[in-house]
Amino acid sequence: MSTMIFDLRSSETMIFDLQMQAMANVGKKEQWLINSSDLDWFRNQKLGEGGFGTVFRGSYLGAPVAVKTSQTSATRRGLSDMALELRTLRRLRHPNIVSFYGACLAPGIEGGLLLVEELVEGKTLESYFSQDDHNNNNNNNKDNNHHPHSSDDALAPWRVLLGIMSALRYLHGHEPSIIHGDIKPENVLVRDGEIAFPKLVDFGLCRRQLNTSRPMGGTRRWMSPELLLPGASRAPNRATDIFSFGRLAFFTVTGKKPLSHMNQKEVFEYTRSGKVAELLWPDVPKAFQSQCMALCQSCLPEDPLSRLTAKEAFEDILAWVPQVDREYITRPQISL
C-alpha cells in the first residue's frame, strides 16, 4: 500500500491529488505531518543542492532545522524522488543517519512537499578531509603522514569510517534491505566538535532491495561497475553500497578523490569496458593506510559476490584501533 501512496510518477492530476491526500493521512497517523504555519525556511541560507532538491536552513517551532525542497525546474520528478525518500527516511533511527523530524504537505509551495530534518552543524566529508585544502593552507607542513582533517582528533578517519559503516550495517539489516545508493563524501556530514562524528545524509536515491526496484542513478566516480556496464541489471543491492564505501574509505584516509588522474568521461569509459581502475595510494603512507588498503581490496572486487558484507566491513574497521583507545562516541565524563 505504501508503494502506491509514495510513488508520485503518475501524470494524472486526480491520481496525484489522491496520493497527496493519502500521504497526509499517513503522516497524521504516524505523527510526522508538520503544519506549514509551524515551519519557516530561509532562501538566503542554502545548505546544499542536488539534482532534484535544495536544502535550506530553517526553523521548526523555533528550533533550527534543515528543510529540503524540490527543484522547481523539475518539480514532478523531484517531488517523486522526495516522496520515495520520505517513504524510507520516516522509519529510520540511527545515530549516524540524519534525523527525520517530519514533512510538510502544502499544495502550491515548492511542489507541495518539504522534508524537515536535523540541522547538522559541521562540514561535508569532502571539506573535512580534503588533502588539497590542507596543502593550500599548510604549505610549510613537512609532516606528510599527518592526516589532512580539520581537528586534533587523531582517530578521525577511523571514527568516520566506523560510523558510516555502522549506518550501512543498520540499513542493510532491514528486511528487505535499504540501499542508500549514493555513498560519496558530499553525502556525509562531520559534526563540529573535538570528536569526529559522521552523519549519512541525502536519501534521495535510496531504494529497498527488491527485484522490481527502479534504477537509482548515482555519481560515476563512486559507482560500482555493474551499474555502468551496457545491458547490465541496474537493480540496487547491498554490494553496490559496499563498492561505493570502498572508494569513500580511500578518500577518507588519503584526502584524495579516487581515480583523480581520470576525468568523469574516462572513468565511465574505462568501467564500461569491464575493468575496475586501480587506486593510486600515496608513496608516503597516511595514518591507517595499510588497514584501509586491505579493506578496499575486499570492498572493490569487480564481482559483487566477492565483496564484504556491511557486518564484515564493520568488524574489520573496528579492529583497526585497540579497544582501550576506542573513544568513537564521546570521551569519558569528568567527575566534579
DSSP track, 102-167: EEEE-TTSGGGEEEEEE---EEEHHHHT-HHHHHHH-TT---TTS---SSS-TTHHHHHHHHHHHH
Residue 179 pairs with which residues in a beta bridge? 207
Question: For every residue of 153-216, which 3-state class applies, written as one string?
Answer: CCCHHHHHHHHHHHHHHHHHCCCCCEECCCCCHHHEEEECCCCCEEEECCCCCCEECCCCCCCC
Q: What pLDDT, on a 0 to 100 scale, did the predictor assign at position 325?
A: 66
Residue 136 pairs with which residues in a beta bridge? none
Q: pLDDT averaged over the chain?
A: 84
Residue 141 in contact with residue 101, Cβ under 8 Å? no
Percent of the chain with pLDDT over 90: 54
Q: What pLDDT, on a 0 to 100 scale, did the predictor assign at position 141?
A: 45
The grid coordinates listed for 217 are: 542513478
Q: φ, ψ for residue 146 (rounded to 5)?
A: -70, 130
> Stretch 276-291: mean pLDDT, rounded?
93
Q: Using CA atoms of 184, 186, 192, 197 in order, give the dihedral in degrees to the nearest 10.
A: -20
The pLDDT of residue 132 is above 60:
no
> Stretch 164-190: mean pLDDT, rounded?
96
Tally of residues, the chain: 336
Per-residue pLDDT tens digits for 32-57: 999 999 999 998 999 988 766 889 99
pLDDT band at 213 (very low <50, low <70, confident <90, very high): low
Q: What pLDDT, on a 0 to 100 scale, did the predictor assign at position 139?
A: 43
Q: What pLDDT, on a 0 to 100 scale, did the predictor assign at position 282?
A: 94
SS3 238: helix
Residue 241 in contact with residue 299, Cβ under 8 Å? no
Catalogue all structural domains in the chain, each as residue range(s) with its CATH number: 2-118 (3.30.200.20), 122-325 (1.10.510.10)
Percent of the chain with pLDDT over 70: 80
Q: Which residue has the cell 564505501?
A: 245
Cα 108 to the center of its chain, rounded Å: 29
pLDDT band at 112 (very low <50, low <70, confident <90, very high): confident
Least confident of 40-54, 65-79, 302-316: 65-79
Least confident of 23-32, 129-138, 250-259: 129-138
Q: What pLDDT, on a 0 to 100 scale, did the predictor assign at position 164?
A: 98
> Stretch 147-162: mean pLDDT, rounded?
81
The dihedral built from the CA positions of residue 94, 96, 97 and 98, taken in this order, carries a sign that is positive
Annotated binding-site members for ATP: 68
SS3 56: strand
Residue 127: how many CA atoms within 13 Å on its side-chain side?
10
pLDDT band at 136 (very low <50, low <70, confident <90, very high): very low
Q: What pLDDT, on a 0 to 100 scale, did the predictor assign at position 211?
A: 66
Could you tell me which residue, 244 or 136, shows the higher pLDDT?
244
> Stretch 251-270: mean pLDDT, rounded?
89
Q: What pLDDT, on a 0 to 100 scale, did the predictor assign at position 102?
A: 97
Q: Which residue has the cell 562540514?
A: 123
The strands making up 188-191's β-sheet, listed across from edge to edge, are: 122-124, 188-191, 197-200
Residue 157 in contact with residue 288, Cβ under 8 Å? yes
> Stretch 169-192: mean pLDDT, rounded?
95
Residue 299 in contact with residue 159, Cβ under 8 Å? no
Could you tell me which residue, 214 or 198, shows the higher pLDDT?
198
By DSSP bridging, strand 178-179 and strand 207-208 are: antiparallel
Q: What pLDDT, on a 0 to 100 scale, did the predictor assign at position 131?
A: 62
The Cα angle at residue 293 between residues 286 and 235, in degrees rounded to 5: 130
Residue 48 in contact with residue 55, Cβ under 8 Å? yes
Q: What pLDDT, on a 0 to 100 scale, did the predictor assign at position 335?
A: 43
> Stretch 78-90: mean pLDDT, rounded?
85
